[in-house]
Amino acid sequence: MKEQNIYPSFPVDCKSLVSKYLKKEIFEELKELKTKNGFTLEKAIASGVQNFDSGIGVYAGDLESYTIFASLFDPIIEDYHQFKKDDKHKSNLNAEDLKASNPDIEGKYIVSTRIRVGRNFAKYPLGPAISKEQRENIEKEASSALNSLDGKLRGKYYPLEGMSEEISKQLIQDHFLFKAGDRFLEAAGLNRNWPSGRGIYHNEEKTFLVWVNEEDQLRIISMQSGGDIKEVFTRLTKAISKIEEKVEFLYDNHLGYITSCPTNLGTAMRASVHIKLPNLGANMKKFEEITQKYHLQIRGIDGEHSQSIGGVYDISNKRRLGVTEVQCVQDMYDGVVELIKEEKKLE
């Protein structure tokens, strides 16, 4: 019988926020508590306990998790987002407010632009706590809302269940589809019953995509080749408002759009470019000076936990909570303008 509720021990070199903030007294305070969906502290910290290389290491099973386990979640949220428990999140999805003419008209640097938001259904628990049946109901409601989209957003929903290995591999290679089997999501209970209830919607041009039941119940994505960041953002904001006519999103006045991972709270937005910066790549001190100045994150070109290849980097906003969606994209845009300027100097 697996021993329950033992205070976890983390290696001394573990840098995850759960290892930093889960003090013994907090563990004792929270270990017996459960949300109305039966979500426990043990489930909330499972990913960080099984993956010592986590950055954060916790996931919420529902909105209530953020209240019941506040003694742990609040300091993690404050540390990651510099966002205090009395702060209020504000949303601004008005693309007109974005000042972003294409910074790379000749297409010399920016390979592609992608802006995504996570959204969860107000009437269901989050991924780590939903049942197989609830996940399948989400898929039904999401696909019916998506299949009603028209104009340039018109497209088709493709369930993962029954999708050929070859098509799924191609969609992942095109960066359109999520990978299966992330060990962090696995430990958080987000891969349960895989691939039931999971799938992808995309329009004919594959510039508008929606992932259903990956880490969040919806990942609404606008993407295209090149650096017309404003066009990508405008398409995304139109799509979000269309979907919101059919689906009520889980939102909280303090934490904004609610997601299972605390890093995505607030806007749940990641605005990224795949950009060729070989010279800056050889001068990481300068590279990181600029990314820090504009609150940017560097990822590899196959997404989170991947490496950059051939001097192409995934550059995106790091801030998600306590800033608006327009500010997230403005952070990324302003940083990209400076990175291109610096790369030109180094050429």
Shortest distance (Å) from residue 95 CB to ligand ADP: 18
Taking the C-alpha atoms of residue 11 and residue 14, their distance in angstroms, rounded to an integer, is 5
Residue 116 annotated among the catalytic residues of the structure: yes
Instruction: List alpha helices for 205-258, DSSP H.
Output: 229-244
Contact of residue 112 among ligand DAR, ligand ADP, none (CB under 5-8 Å per partner type): ligand ADP
Give whole-number Cα distances, 38 to 27, 53, 112, 259, 347, in Å.
17, 27, 42, 18, 57
* Cα separation, 137 vs 141, whole angstroms: 6
Residue 304 is among the residues annotated as catalytic for this protein: yes
Strand partners, 212: 199, 218
User: Which SS3 state, helix, strand or coil, does residue 92 take?
Assistant: coil
- Give the interface segment with ligand DAR, choosing from 49-57, 103-111, 135-143, 221-229 (CB under 6 A): 49-57
Instruction: State the Cα–Cα distance between residues 158 and 181, nearest whole angstrom.
Output: 19
- Judged by CB under 6 A, the residue of 29, 87, 304, 334 near ligand DAR is 304
Residue 14 annotated to the active site: no
User: Rounded distance, CA 54 to CA 304, Å?
Assistant: 12
Q: Which of 56, 115, 275, 277 binds ligand DAR (CB under 6 A)?
A: 56
- Using CB under 6 A, list all residues that contact ligand ADP: 112-114, 116, 175, 219, 223, 270, 272-274, 299, 301-304, 314
Question: Is 191 among the residues that bind ligand DAR (CB under 6 A)?
Answer: no
- Is 324 a residue that touches ligand DAR (CB under 6 A)? no
Angle at CA of residue 320, ends 319 and 321, nearest 5°: 105
- Omega cis (within 30) before 125: no
Restricting to residues 193-232, which ones interact with ligand DAR according to CB under 6 A? 215
261 makes contact with ligand DAR (CB under 6 A):
yes
Could you tell which of ligand DAR, ligand ADP, none binds residue 186, using a CB distance below 5 to 8 A set by kind?
A: none
The answer to whether the beta carbons of residues 313 and 307 sit under 8 Å apart is: no
Task: Tell me which of 37, 54, 267, 330 binds ligand DAR, using CB under 6 A.
Answer: 54
Tell me whether residue 35 or residue 272 sits nearer to ligand ADP (CB atom).
272
- Indicate if 219 belongs to the active site: yes
Contacting residues toward ligand DAR, per CB under 6 A: 54-57, 184, 215, 261, 263-264, 304
Q: Which residues are catalytic?
A: 116, 215, 219, 261, 263, 270, 299, 304
